[in-house]
Amino acid sequence: MSADQIVFWVFAPISIGSAIAMLLQRNAIHAALLLIVNFFTIAVFYLVLEAPFLFAVQIIVYAGAIMVLFLFVIMLLGVDRDEVLAERIRWQRPAAIVIGVGVLAELVVAIRAGVGFATNGPEAFAETVNRGGNTEALARSLFREYFFPFEATSVLLIVAAIAAMMLAARHRRAITRAEQEERAAELEPSEAAS
């Protein structure tokens, strides 16, 4: 049993377990932490799949930045109180699980038919594709073939920034006025059509 297999068989259960645990975890903060664990395992998989650069990014951006942001917000809003897991919508949970399993099954079928459980990637990935190191190779393809999408992401980030500005920094006046108006509107009779 080669090293990568051991790694896989160790981390795969952790990965899935952490994910499931996150669902069952009533406390938002703990859920976030479990998610971080899960991201770590994924990072490991990246390493196994010979994508060291993404391994790094996964840890820094995801496990780092993004999840921290999550935790920050959770604390900010003080929603770290335990969530009641009792389901109010009938059939919601069983339906969700059944359908989820169904989807999973179908995906697995597709993977089995499409890839097969024996197939392996080409050997010498490192020598050919990752020539001169994964990072450099990635950079090459990123700035040659995908430079336009790369530029496009800038717009994405601007939009995100504006979103933060508009929503987070919304001054209270607007809100209160809206509230007043809505109360007024509720008094108005809004009758249906004949």
Partner 1 sequence: MTPEVDLGPVMPELILVGAGIVALLVGVIARRAEPLLLLFIAMAGVAGAAAASVLLWDWEGGLTVLADAIATDRFAVVARLILLGVAALGLVLGHHYFQRSGELRTEFYALVLFATSGMTLITASADLITMFLALEILSLSLYVLTGSSARLGSVEGAMKYFLLGAFSSAFFLYGVAMAYGATGSTRLAEVATALGGRTGSMALALAAMVLLAIGFGFKVAAVPFHMWTPDVYQGAPTAVTAFMSAGTKVAAFAAFMRVFNVAFQPLGWDWTPVIWALAAVSMIVGSVLAIAQTDIKRMLAYSSIAHAGFVLTGMTAPGRTGMSASLFYLLAYALMIVGAFGVVMLVSSRGEAATSLGSYRGLYRQSPWLAGLFSLFLLSMAGIPPTAGFIAKVGVFGAAIDAGHWELALIGLLASVVAAFFYIRVMVLMYMHEPSGDHEPDASLAPRLALAIPAVGTLLLGVLPGLVTDFLSEASVIRW
Partner 2 sequence: MSTPIAYFLVVSAALFTIGTVGVMVRRNALVIFMSVELQLNGVNLALVAFSRLHGNLTGQVLTFFSMVVAAAEVVVGLAIIVYVFRRRRTANVDDLAVLRW
Partner 3 sequence: MTDAVWLVPAIPFVGFVVNLFAGRRLGRAAGWLATLAVAAAAAVAIGVGMEVLAQPAEERTTVVHLFDWIGVGAFSAAADLRVDQLSVLMILVVTIVGALIHLYAIGYMGGDPRFGRFFAYLNLFVFFMLVLVLAENLLLLYVGWEGVGLCSYLLIGFWHERTAAANAAKKAFVTTRIGDTFMLVGIALVFLRLGSLDLSTVLDPGIEAVQPSGVFTVIALLLFAGAIGKSAQVPLHVWLPDAMEGPTPVSALIHAATMVTAGVYLVVRTHLFFEISGVALVVVLVVGLVTALYAALSALGQDDIKRVLAYSTVSQLGFMFMAAGMRAYSVAMFMLAAHACYKALLFLSAGSVMHGTHELTDLTRMGGLRRRMPWTAGVAIAGALSLAGVFGLAGFFAKDEILVIASETGRATVWLLGTLGALLSALYIGRLVFLAFFGDARSQEAEHAHESPPVMLAPLVVLAAAALGLGVLMLDPETGLVPTFLEPVLGTVPHGDEGVGTAALVIVSQVVAIGGLAVTWLVYASGRVDWLALRLRLMPLPRFLNRGMYVDDVYAATVVAPAKATSTFLADVVDASVVDGLVNAVGRLFQGLAGAGRRVQTGMVRTYALAFLLGALALLAYVGVRG
Least distance (Å) from partner 1 to the CB of residue 10? 25
| Contact with partner 3 (CB under 8 A) among 49, 75, 95, 139 | 95
CB of 102 to partner 3, least distance (A): 5
Q: What part of residues 50-109 is at the interface with partner 1 (CB under 8 A)?
A: 106-107, 109
Q: Name which of partner 1, partner 3, partner 2, none residue 75 binds, using a CB cut-off of 5 to 8 Å depending on partner kind.
A: none
**How far apart, in whole angstroms, are the C-alpha atoms of residue 40 and residue 104?**
23
Indicate the residue among 78 and 114 with the shorter CB distance to partner 3.
Answer: 114
Are the CB atoms for 18 and 37 separated by under 8 Å? yes
Residue number, 156 or 189, with CB nearest to partner 2: 156
Measured from the CB atom, is 6 or 103 closer to partner 3? 103
Q: How far is the CB of 141 from partner 2 (least distance, A)?
A: 5
Report the C-alpha gap between 187 and 193 in whole angstroms.
Answer: 18
State CA 153 to chain mean position distance: 18
Q: Are 26 and 82 in contact (CB under 8 A)?
A: yes
CA distance 29 to 50: 32
Span interacting with partner 3, options 8-16, 42-50, 101-109, 168-176, rule CB under 8 A: 101-109
Does the footprint of partner 3 cover residue 83 (CB under 8 A)? no
Cα(49)–Cα(55) distance, integer angstroms: 10
Instruction: Yes or no: say if 38 and 67 are a contact pair by the CB < 8 Å rule.
Output: no
Distances from the Cα of 163 to the Cα of 10, 54, 78, 159, angstroms? 41, 27, 22, 6
Window 122 to 181, contacts with partner 1 (CB under 8 A): 144-149, 152-153, 155-156, 158-160, 162-163, 165-167, 170, 174-175, 177-179, 181
In single-letter form, the type of residue at position 119 comes to T
Among 16, 49, 75, 110, binds partner 3 (CB under 8 A): 110
**Using N-to-C axis directions, what is the helix angle for 67-77 and 28-48, rounded to 10°?**
180
> Could you tell me the smallest distance in angstroms from the CB atom of residue 6 to partner 2?
9
In the complex, the residues that contact partner 3 under the rule CB under 8 A are: 89, 92, 95-96, 99-100, 102-103, 106-107, 109-110, 113
